[in-house]
Each structure stands twice: as C-alpha cells, then as structure tokens.
C-alpha cells in the first residue's frame, strides 16, 4: 500500500473540511494519554530533555560550525547547539534532490507529507516542551498551538496542495476533426514541476504554527525546502526537520529535500533570501525585515505576514461582563505575543449602552482593568494564561508603556513569580488610556502585553478610524461589540473595504485572536499586515508550474 492510499481517507476529509469550513480536526488537542498513549507524556519529556546541552546532529552538507542561540524565557538552561551550514551547499543539495521528488508525482508526494504530519502528531509532547521552553508559551498553548493545531495547519495546506495538483491530468489524447481526412491526433503529457527552492523563515513566538503551512505547501508541490528558524526558537524547527529528513530517507528520497539553516548573522540570511535559486519565501515577523524581503527578493514569490494594528470597536453590548471577560482573556493570552491579539479598543467618549445601564468611558476602562485582575487573581491561572515574555525588546516596551509617555496608565504591569521556573519573565498586561488624536501612541504595533483604550468622538468616528488603521497599517483581526444592526452593518462593510477578518460580539469561549484551521481564513492578503491569505488555494497554486510535452500519435 502506498502512503497516499494509507492516508487517502485523511486527505479526502481535509479537502472536504476546507470546502465546508465547519469544525473538524483529526488530531486530539488535549494532552491526554488516552489520545496519545499512556507513555507519550513521559517519553515526550525525556526526548526533549535528551537534547539539552547537546549538539543537534542533522548530517547536512556544508557544515562549518555549531551555534547555540536560544535563551529560554523561563530561565531554564537549554544549551542546544545546531549546525551552521553554508547556504550554497544547502541550495546545491536541495536542487539535486528535486528531480527525484518531481518524478515521485503529486499523489505520492502528498501521501508522504501526510505520513510526516501524522508522525509529527505522535511527537506532540516532545515538540510542545520545545515550543514552551523556547517561546515562553504556557504548557497548554505550547501543546495545542505547537502540536495538533500546527499539524492542522500543515494538513490544511496539504489539502489545498492536493486539490490544486489533482486538477491537472497526467495526460490527454487530443483529437481535432479534419472533415473527410483523418483527425489530427496528439498525446499530451502534463508535468507538475516545483517552482524552485523554498525558504521558510520562522518566527520566534509560533515556530511550528506559522512555519508548517509554508513548509508543507512548498514540499507537497514539488519543491525542496530550507527552514530558517528564528534564533530564539530553533529547537521546534530542528525537531521537525529531523523527522522529515528521516522519513524521506526511509522512503528512498533524498533527505536534503528539507534542511535547517541557522545562519550566523542577519547578513547571511539576507544573502540566502536573495539567492537566485530561492523561488519562494514564507515569512512571519516584524515589518522591517518583512518589507526588506518584499523589496529585495524580486526572484521569489514572498508570502509575508507582518505586524498590524488589530483592534476592537465597542459601541454597546447586551452582555457587559461577558464582553469584559472575553476582552481580558484576549489581552492576557500569551501576554499579547500573538499576531492576532487586539492592541487598541476604540470607545466613544460619551460611553456605551449595556445590559447594566450606561457605562462611561472611564467606567469601561476601570471595569476592564478589574476583569484582567480577576482573571489573573490566582498565580497558577495567571502563569497558565500569560506564559513568559520571550524577548528583551518586549520587556523594554512594557517599561516604556509604564512610563506614561503613550498614555495614562489605567492598569500597571506587574511581574509575577512562576511556581516551576523561578527565573521566568512573567508580566501582567499594562492598560493605557489615550485619545484618538494621540496617534503616535497607538498607531503602531506595540508588541506584547500592552493595550490602549482609545477615546473616539463617537461610533461613526470609530468606524472611520478602524478602516483607516487597516488601510494604512494593516490588521489580521478586528472586533466589534454593538446591539445596533446599523453599526454592525457599517463595520461589516468597512471590513470588506479594508479586507480584514471581523469578529462580532464575542462573549463566550471563542476569542478574536484565535484562528481555526480548515474554517477561518487566516489573513486576507488584502491589507498591509499580510500579502496573502494563508488558508486558500492561492497560497499553494503559485508554488508549482505545469510543463507540457506533446507528440503525434497514429
């Protein structure tokens, strides 16, 4: 049985899921031994611990040195060293591996990728520990977002890749009638050929969730892939690359179809990204380098997810406390270190109508701060929600926000002690108040646990401001709370014009910064925060070419 046949039911269900857009996942999102096996938790932890203080061998070409760039936000010692390989050697090996990968055909490439995703799922506990200790995510998020949710995104990309490639017939018999004469008959063959070497540049906060779509979209469509992880979060990517390389070798394919590149300097990354053989680049991260890639990598198709100004408009609500609780969790989850977290809350100066009566702007600010305090009242809950601060830059931004230069401090950030990791950098959110005219404060991304309650003249002004923020600076998410249909209609139409995903009146256990694979369109490709949608056929269709050959037949 081929690997495609082995996983055909899974692949077909994934294709069905992206068409229907309802809830579906083949992978258990809870770290339960019942789902993953009684020995899985202990085995996963032991596998992770076996990497600590060791060299991570990958047997890649062009190795010249070792590098150990990671520092855990939890203060835990890591000390994992990774091979530094010459970029040209990795590219040469990738190009040499691609002809055999092409000959395998789309069907078996997709089958092998499906096998890889299931093997990654079996290693979810191991990967989760690596994600947690490198990114600062709390355990449950590290397991879910780093494991099964990331694998869902991989399978989602694979479903699009199969859907697009399966539309191309392998061959056709072409017959053109010639009246009384014999018809012209030709045999035509259609070969799917990868665009070229793919470079997937990982981010520091979600090293699997944001990496797997580009990795599997490129690999399944016939390309070799070089994975360049963020220096703060190498281990999750390294484990993934090793699993893929081992599987490829076991299936008789060249393992150099997938390689890990940990450059010794930013200049080395830039040199790799502009190499003529690199024909597609996936990037999630800051605006400065993302824009550099878009400007300087003309030889490649660049899929870039950049920083944006995610925000929420609050006009009115029929569930005031539930709204506050939902917003509090949104602002606290992983300390705001998500590309979808709301930064600005646009509130009319005259206050809002609620099921508890009118609430002034000042009351909304105070009550939101109280909701955050309630959520974080228990230290064990606070640490499980907040995680740890990954970068020194984010810590510096928190201190800058506390100084009051961006607005009045409604709720100050406070450091917390982590019960398991005494050196962990855990900080509660800082909540600021400013006026809509103070654009220098809130009209740029302040990555981390920093949020603004922005006073606007009225709801109509909030709608106009929202649309301008997305047009000028981009956003992945916008939220709105209103009991008035005319407001919801106006915000909806503004979201269409600005091309941004909209969440309406979320008061339950779904939050604006969550994105569900197979269902939600993550990014629209229509505003500056992302130049592509990461959940549609267009994300994969430009990663391969169809090359035909034809000849006459009798």
pLDDT in tens, 11-58: 999 999 999 999 999 999 999 999 999 999 999 999 999 999 999 999
pLDDT above 70 covers a percentage of the chain that reads 100
Q: Which of 305, 299, 96, 301 is nearest to 210 (CA)?
A: 305
Q: How confident is the model at residue 264, as a pLDDT?
A: 86
The closest of 146, 128, 109 to 45, measured between CA atoms, is 128
pLDDT > 90? residue 145: yes
Strand, helix or coil at 339? Answer: coil
| C-alpha radius of gyration, the chain, whole number | 25
Do 317 and 171 sit in the same domain of this protein? no
Compute the mean pLDDT over every residue in the chain, rounded to the nearest whole number: 97
Residue 489 reports pLDDT greater than 90: yes
Query: Which ranges in 274-416 belong to alpha helices (H)?
Result: 287-296, 320-332, 361-375, 379-386, 392-402
- Judgement on whether residues 179 and 322 belong to the same structural domain of the protein: no
The SS3 assignment for 549 reads strand
The pLDDT value recorded for residue 254 is: 98
Evaluate the CA torsion angle 545, 118, 63, 292 in order and state its sign. Answer: positive
What is the model's pTM?
0.96
Crossing angle of helices 124-135 and 139-146, rounded to 10°: 120
pLDDT tens digit string along 403-439?
A: 999 999 999 999 999 999 999 999 999 999 999 999 9
pLDDT at 353 over 90: yes
CA separation for the pair 356, 285 (Å, rounded): 41
| Residue 237 sits in the same domain as residue 328 | no
Are 258 and 321 members of one domain? no
Is residue 73 assigned to a domain?
A: yes
Do 140 and 255 share a structural domain?
yes
SS3 content of the chain, % helix, strand, coil (to 5): 45, 20, 35
Considering the domain architecture, whether residues 245 and 370 belong to the same structural domain is answered as: no
- Please enumerate in sequence order all residues whose Cβ is within 8 A of that of 539, keeping only pairs 6 or more positions apart, or say none: 157, 160, 213, 217, 303, 532, 533
Q: Which residue has the tokens 């020194």?
A: 392
Q: Is the pLDDT of residue 80 over 90?
A: yes
Helical axes 212-220 vs 106-122, angle rounded to 10° = 150
312 with 476: CB under 8 angstroms? no
Q: Is the dihedral of CA 16, 21, 22, 26 positive or negative?
A: positive
Confidence of residue 462 (pLDDT cuts 50, 70, 90): very high
Query: Which residue range(s) make up the domain with 426?
Result: 311-504
CATH of the domain at 407: 3.40.309.10
- Are 225 and 357 part of one and the same domain? no
Checking if the pLDDT of 529 tops 90, the result is yes
Strands 408-411 and 430-435: antiparallel
Q: Does residue 350 sit in the same domain as residue 263?
A: no
Q: 226 is written with which tokens?
A: 């070089």
Per-residue model confidence (pLDDT) at position 315: 98
What pLDDT is attached to residue 294?
96
Contact 445, 309 (CB under 8 A): yes
Residue recorded with tokens 């569900």: 516
DSSP 8-state symbol, 298: T
Tokens of 161: 């890749």
479: in domain: yes
> Which residues have C-beta within 8 Å of that of residue 274, sequence separation ≥ 6?
296, 297, 299
Closest residue by Cα to residue 11 from 115, 150, 146, 122 = 115
Round to whole Å and give the CA distance between 346 and 461. Answer: 10
Cα–Cα distance measured from residue 262 to residue 231, given in angstroms and rounded to the nearest whole number: 7
pLDDT, mean of residues 143-168: 98
Asked whether residue 292 is domain-assigned, the answer is: no
Tell me if 28 is assigned to some domain.
no
Q: Which residues contact 87 (CB under 8 A, 6 or more apart)?
A: 62, 261, 263, 268, 271, 272, 275
Within-domain flag for 225: yes
Whether 105 and 225 map to the same domain: the answer is yes
* pLDDT band, residue 554 (cuts 50/70/90): confident
Same domain (yes/no): 230, 320: no
CA 59 to chain centre: 28
Classify each residue of 138-156 as buried b or exposed e, where b means 16 or more C-beta atoms within 10 Å of its C-beta.
Answer: bbbbbbbbbbbbbbbbbbb
CATH of the domain at 105: 3.40.605.10
Q: Are 432 and 453 in contact (CB under 8 A)?
A: yes
Question: DSSP characters for 30-69?
Answer: S--HHHH-TTHHHHHHHHHHTTTTSB-----TTEEEEE--
Could you tell me if residue 271 is inside a domain? yes
When divided into structural domains, the chain yields a total of 2
Q: Is residue 247 part of a domain?
A: yes
Q: Do 243 and 373 lie in a common domain?
A: no
Evaluate whether residue 294 is within a structural domain. no
Distance CA 311, CA 344 (A): 5
Judged against a pLDDT cut of 90, whether residue 5 lies above it is answered with yes
Model confidence pLDDT, tens digit, residues 301-344? 999 999 999 999 999 999 999 999 999 999 999 999 999 999 99
- The reply to whether 358 and 472 lie within a common domain is yes
């Amino acid at each position: 049985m081929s690997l495609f046949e082995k996983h055909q039911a899974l692949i077909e269900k994934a294709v069905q899921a992206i068409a229907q857009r309802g809830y579906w996942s083949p992978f258990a999102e809870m770290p339960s031994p019942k789902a993953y096996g009684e020995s899985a938790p202990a085995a996963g932890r032991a596998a992770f611990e076996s990497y600590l203080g060791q060299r991570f061998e990958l047997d890649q070409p062009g190795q010249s040195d070792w590098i150990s760039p990671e520092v855990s936000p939890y203060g835990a010692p890591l000390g994992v060293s990774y091979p530094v390989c010459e970029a040209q050697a990795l590219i040469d090996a990738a190009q040499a591996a691609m002809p055999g990968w092409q000959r395998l055909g789309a069907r078996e490439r997709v089958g092998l990728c499906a096998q890889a995703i299931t093997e990654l799922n079996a290693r979810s506990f191991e990967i989760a520990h690596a994600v947690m200790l490198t990114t600062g995510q709390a355990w449950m998020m590290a397991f879910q977002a780093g494991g099964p949710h990331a694998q869902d995104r991989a399978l989602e990309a694979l479903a699009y890749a199969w859907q697009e490639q399966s539309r191309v017939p392998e061959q056709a018999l072409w017959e053109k009638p010639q009246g009384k004469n014999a018809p012209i008959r030709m045999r035509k063959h259609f070969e799917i050929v990868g665009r070229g070497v793919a470079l997937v540049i990982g981010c520091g906060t979600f090293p699997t969730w944001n990496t797997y779509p580009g990795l599997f979209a490129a690999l399944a469509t016939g390309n070799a892939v070089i994975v360049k992880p963020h220096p703060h979060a190498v281990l999750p990517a390294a484990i993934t690359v090793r699993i893929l390389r081992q599987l490829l070798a076991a299936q008789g394919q060249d393992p150099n179809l997938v390689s890990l590149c940990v450059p010794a300097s930013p200049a080395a990354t830039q040199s790799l990204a502009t190499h003529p053989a690199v024909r597609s680049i996936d990037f999630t991260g800051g605006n400065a380098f993302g824009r550099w890639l878009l400007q300087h990598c003309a030889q490649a198709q660049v899929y870039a997810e950049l920083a944006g100004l995610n925000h929420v408009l609050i006009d009115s609500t029929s569930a005031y406390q539930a709204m506050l609780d939902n917003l509090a969790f949104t602002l606290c989850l992983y300390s705001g270190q998500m590309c979808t977290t709301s930064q600005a809350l646009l509130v009319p100066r005259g206050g809002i109508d609620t099921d508890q009566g009118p609430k002034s702007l000042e009351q909304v600010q105070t009550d939101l701060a109280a909701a955050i305090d309630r959520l974080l009242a228990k230290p064990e809950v606070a640490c499980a929600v907040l995680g740890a601060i990954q970068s020194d830059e984010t810590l510096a931004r928190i201190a800058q926000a506390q100084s009051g230069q961006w607005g009045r401090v409604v709720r100050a950030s406070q450091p917390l002690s982590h019960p398991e990791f005494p050196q962990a950098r855990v900080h509660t959110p800082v909540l600021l108040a400013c006026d809509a005219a103070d654009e220098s404060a809130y009209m740029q991304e302040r990555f981390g646990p920093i949020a603004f309650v922005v006073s606007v003249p009225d709801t109509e002004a909030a709608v106009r401001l929202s649309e301008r923020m997305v047009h000028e600076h981009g956003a992945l998410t916008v939220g709105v709370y209103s009991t008035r249909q005319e407001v919801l209609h106006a915000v909806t139409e503004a979201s269409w014009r600005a091309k941004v995903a909209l969440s309406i009146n979320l008061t339950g256990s779904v939050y604006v910064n969550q994105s569900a694979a197979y269902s939600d369109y993550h990014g629209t490709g229509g505003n500056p925060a992302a130049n592509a949608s990461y959940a549609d056929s267009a994300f994969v269709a430009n990663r391969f070419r169809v090359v035909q050959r034809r000849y006459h037949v009798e």
